[in-house]
Amino acid sequence: MVSMKTHNILRIFTAALAVCLMVISALAQDDPDPNSPTPILLAGPDRTRVLAVPTRRIRLFDQGAASRQAFPPNSKITIYVRNVDLMEGEGANAFRVYAEDAKGRQFRFPILAFRVSDPEKSTYAVTIRLRDDIGYWQSPIPNGDLLIRIAWRGLTSDRLRLGYGSTGGSIKDDPIPFSSARTATSKFFNNEDAAESSRPGYVGYRWSGDRMRFLEQAAFGPTSALDSRIRRIGLRTWLHEQFEAPYPSLTNPYPNIPLKSTDAQNVTLGCGANNNTLEYRTCIRDHYTMYPAQAWFFKEAYYGEPQLRHRVSWALSQIWVISGVDTQQASWLIDYHQVLSEHTFGNFRNLMKDMTLNPGMGNYLDMARSTRNNPNENYAREILQLFAVGLFMLNPDGTLQLDGQGQPIPTYDQNTVNNFTKVFTGFSFCNTTCPNSAPGIVNYKDPLILNQNNHDITAKTLLSYPGAVNQNIAPGLNGNTEIDLALDNIFMHPNVGPFVGKLLIQHMVTSDPTPAYVGRVAAVFNNNGLGIRGDLKAVVRAILLDPEARGDVKTDPNFGKLREPVQFATNIFRTFNVKSANLAQNSDGVFYPQANNLLGTMGQSAFYSPTVFNYFSPDYVIPGTSLLGPEFGVMTTGTAIARANFVNTMVFAQISTSENVPLGTKLDFAEMQALAAADATGNQLLDALNQKMMHGAMSASMRSTILTAVTNIASTNPLARAQQAIYLVATSSQYQIQR
């Protein structure tokens, strides 16, 4: 017989070998070719109208078939797309069909079927229904010509006319091809890329536009040094480095802040009662606000090496939310963030367990005060609704499952919430026996511990789903046992992969991903290739290397995401070598109080989420469209002006030093100033900004407008020219949408 010791050694060796093989496999693969072909929507004989036929008449592809010009509302028609190179399993849910009427209103038509029509020419028949997919518009789509297009992987076809009910109307054809209107105005890769990539044996990632896009998705913004490194080692090798990098940076460790009394006025364990002294103000700032956490966070975002973990941790902190609004001390939030970041590239099931027992979370959602005689449902409700499974049953690609009446199917009901609430009773702060316990101090560092006497020991019925795990919990069990059973019940729910995968895609890549993209990521969540469920490292890799994420340029105007205020700020800061106010050293990263107000007026003060629902909802639909756009939930007239004011402050002034901002913050424009001085035409300056800020995707009209504004400034003032150009790019809608 094999001894238990030998068995454990073999098990550990097998697990380690599996991990090694997975790493080797990942590094052995080539970086993805980012540039998918542009889809072509087939036109009829007059070349301005889409080739479309009533679906009932379709048998085989025949371009000479009777193509009609107008179709009744709500009818089914078939159109044709060519020049797409599909992966195995890729089909209808990878495409979207959009239309626009004469008033500029946009609609999305549902795709009902997708099939090969002409294998020799790689032509596909796409059956659609002529009604608004989302149903945003209360009035019917007006009769007359629409402009219709098809999008795939963030790329769009040109637009062609389609008669909706009738032909005619006032809509105008596009003056230039729709797909080229947003095409890069510079080469896909610069001369240095071209020269290096032509060397024999070259290894690297030559596409400069996609490198910059990647660094907006996987980091807090690009820098010249990081761009150069990825150009030389490629995306996969950089990802592997990041997965293994120590966190946080060795030069910027987590602040080690002692716990204090929950009574800030406590003379011995708080800050005392004399609130007129500098000592008191400093104590309050450093212990009873999020100041230290914010300072650490932004220094890591500006200068930290482990950018990917920091970036994904920030995304996870907006899913598993706690907030300084209700979290009294910085030390509580810092411990919460340590738990979060520890599991960022680990297993989602382990993250669920440690976040459930985190005292900061226990305080924020009241689990630390929930007992069998006084249960509180907050944590039970939010782990289901916001953290793991969502309100409605999902298909594997994240789309809603519908019942026989076409209504979404609830994932759970109030009775389910009540049963989970019972599971989470009896846990509270470890104030006597844990490493961080101290007299008179509530222990917000060590995990919550169980008082079995306060735990509900009745039977519980949990989530029901096909093959449900631990749906029924027997009475009389220990609370720690019940928590594991309940978390397994949640973790194994089929919603978790598409639900979590879509949230992470939205935070990192695009607000309204196609179901195909969500489905590919969810499949990796369900099985990382080694039979392991919930591997977040594999999920992050899948998100960032997916063909819908990659590409030098995305021509679909509906692709991408509004830069949320924190990333809007850090992207600009990293692009222009953020320094202290005197440019002599690194910034201390402090966004308090001035810059905190700047971010707050933009709608996102770091670690001060207004509610557990985050700064914005993942289901927020941009008014007047059918597009998901979560970050637009904090875009108002006021916050739009605040964005411009923020850029104005950072480009034409600085964050000056003060009592709470010891070093201040300023951007370094020396490189751009030198380019402006070297070329009186302004073209070198605009070319550089196009590459550094727009990854080569600045439209011709935007470039022309900015160039005129720049050359209106005397060439003898190159700094003013550089500042003007940077301000206009940073405040433009094209820059503020991360594509």
Instruction: Name which of 143, 177, 161 is nearest 68 in CA terms.
Output: 161
- pTM comes to 0.93
Element (H, E) at 314: helix 307-317
DSSP symbol at 124: E
pLDDT at residue 120 in the model:
73
Q: Which two tokens stand for residue 725?
A: 């150009």
Q: Which residue ranges does the chain devote to CATH 2.60.40.10?
A: 40-180
- The answer to whether 90 and 115 have CB atoms below 8 angstroms apart is no
The 10s digit of each residue's pLDDT in 305-353 is: 999 999 999 999 999 999 999 999 999 999 999 999 999 999 999 999 9
User: DSSP letter string over 510-567?
Assistant: -SS--HHHHHHHHHHHH--SSS-S-BHHHHHHHHHHSTTT--S----TT-SEEPPHHH
Element (H, E) at 693: helix 683-694
Region of 144 (left: φ > 0; alpha: ψ -120 to 50; beta: rest) is left
Burial 82-117 (b: 16+ CB within 10 A, else e): bbbebeeebebbbbbbbbbbeeebbbbbbbeebeeb
pLDDT at residue 63 in the model:
43
pLDDT at residue 104 in the model:
87
pLDDT at residue 360 in the model:
98
Rg (CA), the chain: 28
How far, in Å, CA of 46 to CA of 358, rounded? 65
Instruction: Name which of 486, 496, 467, 488 is nearest 417 in CA terms.
Output: 486
- The answer to whether 220 and 311 have CB atoms below 8 angstroms apart is yes
Q: What is the 3 state secondary structure string of 410-452? A: ECCCHHHHHHHHHHCCCEECCCCCCCCCECCECCCCCCCEECH
- The answer to whether 657 and 663 have CB atoms below 8 angstroms apart is yes
For the segment(s) 40-180, the CATH number from 3.30.9.10, 3.40.50.1000, 1.10.10.10, 2.60.40.10 is 2.60.40.10
C-beta pairs of 28-34 under 8 Å, 24+ apart in sequence: 29/236, 31/205, 31/234, 31/235, 31/236, 31/545, 32/235, 32/545, 32/547, 32/550, 34/207, 34/210, 34/547, 34/550, 34/551, 34/552
How far, in Å, CA of 395 to CA of 500, rounded? 13
Q: How many CA atoms lie within 13 A of 225 on its CB side?
A: 7
- The answer to whether 339 and 302 have CB atoms below 8 angstroms apart is no
Neighbouring residues of 20: CB distance < 8 A, sequence distance ≥ 6: none
Whole-angstrom CA distances from 350 to 22, 357, 488, 527 are 20, 11, 10, 16
Neighbouring residues of 615: CB distance < 8 A, sequence distance ≥ 6: 318, 564, 603, 604, 609, 633, 634
- The answer to whether 96 and 81 have CB atoms below 8 angstroms apart is no
How far, in Å, CA of 371 to CA of 666, rounded? 51
Element (H, E) at 145: strand 144-152
- The answer to whether 559 and 697 have CB atoms below 8 angstroms apart is no
DSSP symbol at 357: T
Coil, strand or helix at 588: coil
Q: What are phi and psi of 505, to 5 degrees?
A: -60, -45
Q: Which two tokens stand for residue 116?
A: 């090969």
pLDDT at residue 273 in the model:
87
Neighbouring residues of 198: CB distance < 8 A, sequence distance ≥ 6: none
How far, in Å, CA of 280 to CA of 449, rounded? 33
Give the distance from CA 650 to its chain's centroid: 25
The 10s digit of each residue's pLDDT in 442-463 is: 999 999 999 999 999 999 999 9
The separation between the first and the last C-alpha atoms of the chain, rounded to the nearest angstrom, is 59
Classify strands 160-164 and 70-71 as parallel, antiparallel or unpaired: parallel
The 10s digit of each residue's pLDDT in 204-223 is: 778 889 999 999 999 999 99
pLDDT at residue 132 in the model:
83
Q: Which two tokens stand for residue 302?
A: 């500006």
Whole-angstrom CA distances from 509 to 65, 481, 520, 546 are 41, 38, 14, 10
Q: Which two tokens stand for residue 552?
A: 């030098």
Burial 123-135 (b: 16+ CB within 10 A, else e): bbbbbbbbbbbee
How far, in Å, CA of 386 to CA of 367, rounded? 16
- The answer to whether 430 and 447 have CB atoms below 8 angstroms apart is yes
Burial 309-340 (b: 16+ CB within 10 A, else e): bbbbbbbbbbbbbbbbeebbbbbbbbbbbbbb
How far, in Å, CA of 241 to CA of 334, rounded? 25
How far, in Å, CA of 327 to CA of 330, rounded? 8
Mean pLDDT by groups of 10 residues along the chain of 739 residues: 50 50 50 82 93 71 56 94 93 96 89 88 92 63 91 97 92 91 52 56 76 97 96 96 97 97 95 90 95 96 98 98 97 98 98 98 98 98 98 98 96 98 98 95 98 98 97 98 98 98 98 98 98 98 97 94 98 98 94 71 94 96 88 96 96 92 95 98 97 93 97 98 98 96
Element (H, E) at 9: helix 4-28
pLDDT at residue 189 in the model:
42
pLDDT at residue 625 in the model:
79
Which position has the token pair 């009662």? 273
Q: Which two tokens stand for residue 188?
A: 């896909």
